Structure formats: structure tokens, C-alpha cells
């Protein structure tokens, strides 16, 4: 058990270093947090969690942005003027880019897999450019 945690810690440290960054406590805690998340987290969600560790919000911002630039995280804005970050893990379920659904009522964010445009739409979209991200908004089932 303890051995497990130690291994996890080491693998997180390694990932950070392989991205060209230093494995600081704040960064390790951030990745641990995102590792256990089922949807992208906002800066304030991460900052709240790391406050116990005495990490400043500016540091959280810088780390999230730096790790996104380094390719460890993916950063998106889902229409509510707040940045959200999620893990870019090769093996993970949400490793690669995928559509998101945002409830315009309660703000809940869901990661969607398997959502695609029609072949015709794909063709038409080339007229505009190369699509890299799909965002769907609407009313979630809880909000009716």
C-alpha cells in the first residue's frame, strides 16, 4: 500500500520532470488532484484544495498554465469565462481531446467521448478551418 503510493508519487514526479519542469510540492499536489477528477477542474477548485498546503493562487495559476504549455494538462474555456484544466494522460480515459458538455443552468461540466459530427458537417467545416475542439451547451438532465 505504502509502496503503491510511493510509486505513484515517483511516477508523477517523473512526468513533471520529463515535461521539463521541476517537481515541486504544489505541482505534485495539482496533478494528484486532477488524477482523481472525473471532469476538468477550475483554477479556483484547485487553488482551494492547495490552500491547505499554503500555496498561493498566483502559483496555482502559473503552474496550471505552465503544465498546460508543457503538455501535461489541457486548458479550456467552456463558456463561463473560467479556465478549466484536465490531465493529458496517454493511457487515461480522457487522455486525448474530447468534446465537453456544459449545463447552462447549473454549470456542470461533463467529458463526452464518442460524440462526432456527421461526415457532411466535417466536409463543410473544412471551409472554415481545422476543428480541434467541440463544445456542446445545453440543459443537463438534472436541470430539466
Q: Applying CB under 8 A, which part among 39-47, 49-57, 64-72, 112-120 lies near a second copy? A: 112-120
Which residues touch 28 (CB under 8 Å, ≥6 apart)?
9, 12, 13, 16
Nearest alpha-carbon partner for 33 in 84, 109, 100:
84
DSSP string, 14-79: HHHHHTT----HHHHHHHHHHHT-SSPEEHHHHHHHHHTTT--HHHHHHHHHHHHHTTSEEEEE-S
Residue from 103, 111, 135, 140 in contact with Mn ion (CB under 5 A):
111
Residue from 8, 48, 56, 133 in contact with a second copy (CB under 8 A):
133
Scan residues 88-127 and list those touching DNA (CB under 7 A).
none
Contact 107, 101 (CB under 8 A): no
- Nearest distance in Å: CB 33, Mn ion: 15
Binding partner selected for residue 111 from DNA, Zn ion, Mn ion, none, CB under the kind-specific 5 to 8 Å limit: Mn ion
Binding partner selected for residue 87 from Zn ion, Mn ion, DNA, none, CB under the kind-specific 5 to 8 Å limit: none
Write the DSSP symbol of residue 80: S
Scan residues 26-85 and list those touching DNA (CB under 7 A).
26-27, 42-44, 54-59, 61-63, 65-66, 81-83
What residues line the site for DNA (CB under 7 A)?
A: 13, 16-17, 21-27, 42-44, 54-59, 61-63, 65-66, 81-83
Amino acid at each position: 500500500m505504502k509502496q503503491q503510493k510511493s510509486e505513484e508519487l515517483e511516477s508523477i514526479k517523473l512526468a513533471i520532470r520529463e515535461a521539463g519542469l521541476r517537481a515541486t510540492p504544489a505541482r505534485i499536489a495539482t496533478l494528484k488532484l486532477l488524477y482523481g477528477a472525473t471532469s476538468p477542474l477550475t483554477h479556483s477548485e484547485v487553488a482551494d484544495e492547495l490552500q491547505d498546503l499554503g500555496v498561493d493562487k498566483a502559483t496555482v495559476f502559473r503552474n496550471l498554465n505552465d503544465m498546460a504549455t508543457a503538455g501535461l494538462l489541457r486548458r479550456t474555456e467552456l463558456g463561463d469565462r473560467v479556465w478549466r484544466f484536465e490531465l493529458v494522460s496517454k493511457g487515461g480515459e480522457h487522455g486525448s481531446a474530447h468534446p465537453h458538455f456544459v449545463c447552462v443552468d447549473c454549470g456542470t461540466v461533463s467529458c463526452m467521448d464518442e460524440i462526432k459530427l456527421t461526415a457532411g458537417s466535417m466536409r463543410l467545416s473544412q471551409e472554415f478551418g481545422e476543428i480541434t475542439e467541440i463544445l456542446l451547451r445545453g440543459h443537463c438532465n438534472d436541470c430539466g
